Amino acid sequence: MAKVLKEEDLIKNGKRCDGRGFEDLRPIIVKAGVLKQASGSAYVEWGRNKVYAAVYGPHEVFPKHMTNNYKALINARYIMAPFSGLDDHSRSGPNRRSIEISKVAKHVFENVVLTNLFPKTMIDVHMEVMQSDGGTRVASITAASVALADAGIPMRDLVCGVSVGKVAGELLLDLDKYEDNLGGSDMPMIFAPRNGDLLLYQMDGMLSKDEVERAYDMALGACKKIRVLQENALKEKYKEVFEKIKGGENGNNQGSY
């Protein structure tokens, strides 16, 4: 009979089950502008997580009676694909969990998008999880933020996030599926890294006050690294064109735009 994985098995000789240290992120790939039809789009590969995000609008509000004369509405939709590895998430489609994540994502974007510039309009933010391996909400919001910037929607900052949790008595950064399911506690956080604003803060399980403070510092430090990846993804397209034209002329990429 196969051995049942237990919380203690997740940490061996000061390493995690996938070989990471306690404060290491999974490898992250961010790409911007992957979908042609959308106003803006992004793709994030975060360890084994694969997430697409697309932004449409700002456009006319539907249903019309929801119209706000002072600001734009944000319609966020997080959903997991039926083949994303649902396991105990039961069947696919909108469910309690995805409605909750859509709601918290909406509040994140309401706080960074300059919605007052677009009265009587609506911005659709779609986040589609293609493959899941723990931490999809932070991966989705990280992707959606790049998609919003790619759509040219004015924002105060790019947002990104990471989860911190406690497994076998140790605080770990960026939990994967097993650490999330078997561990003692999981705390996803979304930041605006420029000024350190905390925009989403949820927690399962228990942490002491001291641990929460340490977890906060770990997450903020990691978010500053993720922001650099987001920036590079957005700039990549423009840099490619620049290098194609200027690279041949003088052989270096240090010139001005």
164, 219 Cβ separation under 8 angstroms: yes
Q: Is 106 exposed, middle or buried, given 0-12, 13-18 or 19+ CB atoms closer than 10 A? A: middle
152, 129 Cβ separation under 8 angstroms: no
**Amino acid (1-letter code) at residue 154:** P
- When binding is defined by CB under 8 A, the residue of 194, 214, 224, 225 that contacts another protein is 194
242 near another protein (CB under 8 A)? yes
Reported residue count of the chain is 257
Residue 204 per-residue DSSP state: B
234, 150 Cβ separation under 8 angstroms: yes
Helix (H, G, I), strand (E, B) or coil at 154: coil
- When binding is defined by CB under 8 A, the residue of 149, 160, 173, 223 that contacts another protein is 149
Interface region with another protein, contact rule CB under 8 A, candidates 6-14, 89-97, 155-163, 174-182: 155-163
Burial 166-177, CB ≥16 within 10 A → b, else e:
bbbeebbbbbbb
- In DSSP terms, 192 is beta-bridged to 197
Query: What's the min distance (Å) between Cβ of 19 and another protein?
Result: 32
55 near another protein (CB under 8 A)? no
235 near another protein (CB under 8 A)? yes
- When binding is defined by CB under 8 A, the residue of 10, 53, 56, 58 that contacts another protein is 58
- How far is 114 from 116, CA to CA, in rounded Å? 6
Nearest partner of 135 among 192, 204, 236, 227, judged by Cα = 204
Residue among 83 and 257 whose Cβ is closer to another protein: 257
Query: What's the min distance (Å) between Cβ of 215 and another protein?
Result: 24
Residues in region 27-46 near another protein by CB under 8 A: 40
- How far is 53 from 138, CA to CA, in rounded Å? 12
196 near another protein (CB under 8 A)? no
Query: What's the min distance (Å) between Cβ of 84 and another protein?
Result: 29
Query: What's the min distance (Å) between Cβ of 25 and another protein?
Result: 20
- When binding is defined by CB under 8 A, the residue of 121, 131, 181, 202 that contacts another protein is 121
Count the site residues for another protein by CB under 8 A. Answer: 36
Residues in region 2-31 near another protein by CB under 8 A: none
66 near another protein (CB under 8 A)? no
Q: Which residues of this chain interact with another protein, rule CB under 8 A?
A: 40, 57-59, 69, 72, 114, 117-121, 149-158, 192, 194, 230-231, 234-235, 238-239, 241-242, 245-246, 256-257
